[in-house]
């Protein structure tokens, strides 16, 4: 679909303003938001990833592409928030310590909101103590951790240890995800669940919380 290609191309160009306009246009035209995210924005980000890997672009281009993508997600997010206030569960989400990637985490947040969860987003570079404090303060049912760097996978393990140490493991389920994370890694770090993308993140969370 032409508008989805245009969204993808403008994520690659890093034009946040145009991406926001196109996403709004696609929504007005009745395109489903899952398609806007996957066939528009994520497609553009995949091109950026490939170009970075091949040394065709550098950090600034990646950064502006992510900013453009987040501008598109900002348009989608309010549409996903449920109008009623009876939440199906509470989720604390964040990107682990030393990792600054937030696009995938933001998509997971949006999908959780859309499924009726109350979401507490701690942002990026979140320390184990911050996860523990937020989970305790908000009585979280689920802690969702994202990482995009192989180097920061051990920080997931460290966070899970801190959650266990704080005595929260029995009442809170833990999910991990992000491009380098697999089922095996999820098991190794001691998570309860893993999902490869934001749609399946919600499905898996519901299974873990006995909501299906
Ligand atoms: C954009 C980007 C950046 C931007 C991030 C800006 C931002 N606001 O996020 C900037 C420029 C800051 C950046 C910096 C770096 N980056 Co970078 N970056 C990327 C890039 C191109 C896209 C990431 C992205 O947004 N993907 C799109 C989203 C939608 O995908 P996703 O995050 O995987 O999320 C999906 C799933 O994984 C899942 N998911 C995500 N989180 C969670 C959580 C849970 C609980 C669940 C269940 C599911 C889930 O759902 C999402 C949607 O379905 C990737 C390349 C790539 N192909 O991924 C490299 C990449 C991740 N970066 C990489 C690197 C090396 C770096 C740097 C170290 C570069 C450097 N030399 O400085 C720094 C690290 C900075 C830091 N400390 O974090 C490498 C990582 C290699 C590795 N395996 O360790 C990659 C893979 C590029 C590459 N091919 O080399 N980067």
Per-residue pLDDT 10s for the chain (212 aa) are 899 999 999 999 999 999 999 999 999 999 998 899 999 999 999 999 999 999 999 999 999 999 999 999 999 988 877 655 578 999 999 999 999 999 999 999 999 998 899 999 999 999 999 999 999 999 999 999 999 999 999 999 999 999 999 999 999 999 999 999 999 999 999 999 999 999 899 999 999 999 98
pLDDT recorded at residue 82: 60
> Looking at residue 83, what is its pLDDT?
55
* Cα 101 to middle of ligand 1, angstroms: 5
Contact by Cβ (8 Å): 48, 67: no
150 Cβ contact partners less than 8 Å away, ≥ 6 residues apart: 180
In the prediction, which pLDDT does 167 show? 96
Report the nearest atom of ligand 1 relative to the CA of 70. 8
Probe residue for ligand 1, chosen from 12, 48, 96, 101 as the CB with the greatest number of ligand atoms within 8 Å:
101
pLDDT of residue 173: 98
Structural class in CATH, domain 2-80: mainly alpha
Q: What CA–CA distance (Å, rounded) separates 25 from 194?
A: 34
The pTM assigned to this predicted structure is 0.94
66 closest CA partner among 18, 11, 110: 11
Nearest atom of ligand 1 to the alpha carbon of 144: 45
- CA 78 to CA 158: how far, in whole Å? 33
CATH of domain 89-208: 3.40.50.280
Q: To which residue do tokens 């890997």 refer?
A: 53
Q: For the chain, give every domain's residue range.
A: 2-80, 89-208
Cα separation of 146 and 99, whole Å?
9
The burial of 101, by beta-carbon neighbours within 10 Å (0-12 exposed, 13-18 middle, 19 or more buried), is given as: buried
pLDDT at 33: 87
């Amino acid at each position: 679909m032409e508008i989805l290609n245009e969204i993808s191309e403008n994520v690659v160009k890093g034009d946040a303003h145009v991406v926001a306009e196109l996403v709004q246009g696609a929504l007005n035209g009745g395109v489903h938001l899952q398609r806007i995210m996957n066939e528009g924005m994520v497609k553009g980000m995949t091109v950026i990833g490939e170009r970075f890997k091949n040394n065709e672009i550098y950090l600034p281009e990646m950064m502006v592409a992510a900013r453009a993508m987040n501008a598109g997600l900002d348009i989608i997010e309010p549409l996903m928030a449920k109008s009623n206030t009876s939440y199906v569960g509470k989720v604390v989400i964040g990107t682990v310590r030393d990792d600054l990637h937030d696009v995938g985490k933001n998509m997971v947040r949006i999908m959780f909101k859309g499924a009726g969860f109350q979401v507490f987003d701690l942002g990026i570079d979140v320390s184990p103590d911050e996860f523990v404090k937020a989970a305790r303060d908000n009585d979280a049912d689920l802690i969702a951790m994202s990482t995009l760097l192989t180097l920061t996978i051990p920080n997931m393990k460290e966070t899970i240890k801190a959650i266990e140490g704080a005595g929260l493991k029995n009442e809170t389920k833990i999910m991990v995800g992000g491009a380098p994370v697999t089922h095996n890694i999820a098991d190794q770090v001691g998570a309860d669940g893993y999902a490869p993308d934001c749609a399946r993140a919600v499905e898996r969370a519901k299974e873990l919380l006995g909501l299906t």
